[in-house]
Structure 1
């Protein structure tokens, strides 16, 4: 009976050591994974900041393009108005000559 009891204690101690080794190994792995997670979270924050900056730049470019189109449209409108004024002047000149 003592031999069986000693075997049980030895097996228990062996299993306990294995559990403690596994626990230590898992703690180290957990620590490493937490560090990697922290690094990835920092990367995500940097990418979010970069995305925000790029989005702001895109919005500025879009506004600038809209303003540029407005200038172009304004020039076209001025040309059309000038053309209409010339036609009216011609019509007035024809009416005055008759």
Structure 2
């Protein structure tokens, strides 16, 4: 009789393990889908941040060129940086290969 109870106990534990495995596998699939969804949302938000940063830079440059005090220095520095970059490009184009 004791052997039967041990076997029944082992069978119950195996059933419990199989059920736990199924439940955890389903949970894993759900969490993987949720993770992918969050990654896509994150990429979208990161792109939106880049767009807004660019827009902010353009607005600051516009305000600076229009005569805004604080933004004027930033605008002047940015224009100078862009001019140096253009000069470098022109110099590279003029170099013989």
TM-score range, shorter chain: 0.5 to 0.7
Structure 1: gaps spanning 5 or more residues: 71-98
Distance in 2 of aligned mates of 1:23 and 1:66: 63
Normalising by structure 1, report the TM-score: 0.66
> Which structure has the higher relative contact order (CA within 8 Å, separation 6+)?
2
Structure with greater helix percent? 1
1:64 alignment partner in structure 2: 62
Q: Spell out the pairing of 1:46-65 with structure 2 (5 A cutoff).
A: 46-65=44-63
1:34-56: CA deviation from partner (whole Å, max 9, x where unpaired) = 11011011101100000000000
Moved beyond 2 Å, runs of 4+: none
Structure 2: gaps spanning 5 or more residues: 69-97
1:45 alignment partner in structure 2: 43
1:20 alignment partner in structure 2: 18
**What CA RMSD, in Å, does the superposition of the two structures yield over aligned residues?**
1.1
Distance in 2 of aligned mates of 1:47 and 1:56: 14
Q: How many residues align?
A: 68
